[in-house]
Chain A
Amino acid sequence: ETGVTQSPTHLIKTRGQQVTLRCSSQSGHNTVSWYQQALGQGPQFIFQYYREEENGRGNFPPRFSGLQFPNYSSELNVNALELDDSALYLCASSLAIQKRTGELFFGEGSRLTVL
């Protein structure tokens, strides 16, 4: 069984640039959630994708956007990067909403540094 994989693991960008982070969900999972974890803090919910559509969003501005593909993999895009966007971005997959108990399976994250 393949777990959640994320790429890239580390990247450095400058303010104003755009970034795309990628996530492959665990086999059998069709729901993908993205979290931002700033240094020393708990993960904060960005949004979730189910059946290729956004299915809930946290308190993040529209410059944070995403996609889910037919194979359930997902992308997180952040435009007009700001210094405060520096964080570990975590992708988590889970079972279909109707069956879920809420358990999330996390990847190891993509660490973004904005200079």
Chain B
Amino acid sequence: AQSVTQLGSHVSVSEGALVLLRCNYSSSVPPYLFWYVQYPNQGLQLLLKYTSAATLVKGINGFEAEFKKSETSFHLTKPSAHMSDAAEYFCAVSVYLDNDMRFGAGTRLTVKP
């Protein structure tokens, strides 16, 4: 079955610095990959998704991620962190016609002023 591993449960950056959140996936078939963000006491909001089109995916709020099959990775980046980016970020994987989206354990992003 497909799975994702998020490297680093907590990442701290300064405002204006690069944000890099790491995600590696495992799947026996071509996957769909997602990044979701969760603010305190809220549900999950989709940031971006990879669905086998362009390998560099741009999402909301200036985030982007690159699908690298050779590295089985789908890392999330943002060139310049903003205080409002502080939240929990989840990487997730799904496969076509499967009904079980698998989530990573999450990475908490802290942005320091």
A-to-B contact residues, CB < 8 Å: 4, 31, 33, 35, 40-45, 48, 50, 55-56, 58, 90, 92, 97, 101-109, 111
Does B90 make an interface contact (CB < 8 A)? yes
Does B84 make an interface contact (CB < 8 A)? no
Does B51 make an interface contact (CB < 8 A)? yes
Q: Is the CB of A33 within 8 A of B44?
A: no
Whole-angstrom distance between the Cβ of A35 and the nearest chain B Cβ:
8
- Distance of A58 Cα from B106 Cα, bound (Å): 19
Does B34 make an interface contact (CB < 8 A)? yes
Does B17 make an interface contact (CB < 8 A)? no
Q: Taking CB as reference atom, which chain A residue is nearest B94?
A: A102
Nearest 10 CB-CB pairings of A with B: A102-B94, A42-B103, A56-B99, A106-B43, A102-B32, A108-B43, A106-B44, A48-B99, A43-B103, A101-B51
Interface centre among B32, B51, B101, B106 (most CB of A within 10 A): B101
Chain B: residues with Cβ within 8 Å of the partner, total of: 25
B-to-A contact residues, CB < 8 Å: 32, 34, 36, 41-46, 49, 51, 90, 94-106
Query: Quick one: which of A97, A104, A108 contacts B101, CB cutoff 8 A?
Result: A104
- Distance of A43 Cα from B104 Cα, bound (Å): 8
Query: Quick one: which of B34, B102, B103 contacts A103, CB cutoff 8 A?
Result: B34
- Distance of A35 Cα from B106 Cα, bound (Å): 15
Q: Is the CB of A43 within 8 A of B99?
A: no
Query: Quick one: which of B49, B96, B98, B106 contacts A42, CB cutoff 8 A?
Result: B106
CB neighbours of A97 from chain B (8 A): 97, 99
Query: Quick one: which of B44, B46, B51 contacts A43, CB cutoff 8 A?
Result: B44
Query: Quick one: which of A31, A55, A103, A107 contacts B49, CB cutoff 8 A?
Result: A103
Q: Taking CB as reference atom, which chain B residue is nearest A6?
A: B43
- Distance of A106 Cα from B63 Cα, bound (Å): 20
Whole-angstrom distance between the Cβ of B58 and the nearest chain A Cβ:
16
CB neighbours of A41 from chain B (8 A): 105-106
Whole-angstrom distance between the Cβ of A54 and the nearest chain B Cβ:
10
Q: Taking CB as reference atom, which chain A residue is nearest B39?
A: A108
Q: Is the CB of A55 within 8 A of B34?
A: no
